[in-house]
Amino acid sequence: MNIEEYIKQNKQRFDIIEPSNNHLQKMKQHLGLNNNKILTITDFLKYASIFFILLTSVYLLINKNAENCLPKNFKETQAYYTNLVNKKTKKIISEYSLSKQKINIIKKELTKIDSTYNLSINDICVNPNNDYVINSLTEQYKIKLNIINKILYKLKQTQKNEKTKI
């Protein structure tokens, strides 16, 4: 006797008999479909760290590729302004006794300018010969340098005022 005949012969019995109360749970467990699984903190941290690593990798790839899109003549301009900004920033830190908090504020402000600069760098990959984008990048450096010069000026003024009070 095959299974089909067995089912036909016992059809009335199958219609009357109900499965046990925990049959569905056992079946889900057997199939690996446990709906009661709660996301634990360790699982969450695993997923969050994977997401963070992927996001960071994509960001680094985009910025690395963006730097390769810069025209050669702009790279010279970039080197000039970067060198000038770094020298003046080091001068602020070394010559004036600023608290760490003030130094951090200055760095945050300069980082804000860098974020705008990074957006413009991404634009240059799309339009590598667009003078507007190249001028925008140069302007970002000029703005950054202008802010640093204002900070230096204010620090010199403050230092002069302190010397005259003494």
pLDDT (tens digit, 9 = 90+) per residue, 90-131?
Answer: 888 777 777 788 878 877 877 777 777 777 777 777 777 778
Integer Cα distance of 44 and 134 in angstroms: 43
Q: Where are the alpha helices (DSSP H) in the chain?
A: 3-9, 11-16, 23-31, 41-68, 72-95, 100-126, 131-165
Q: Is this structure's pTM higher than 0.85?
A: no
Report the greatest alpha carbon distance in the chain. Answer: 113
Which bin fits 34, alpha (ψ -120 to 50), beta or left (φ > 0)?
Answer: beta
Q: pLDDT tens-digit profile of 5-60?
A: 888 888 888 777 777 778 777 877 777 666 555 667 777 777 778 887 887 777 66
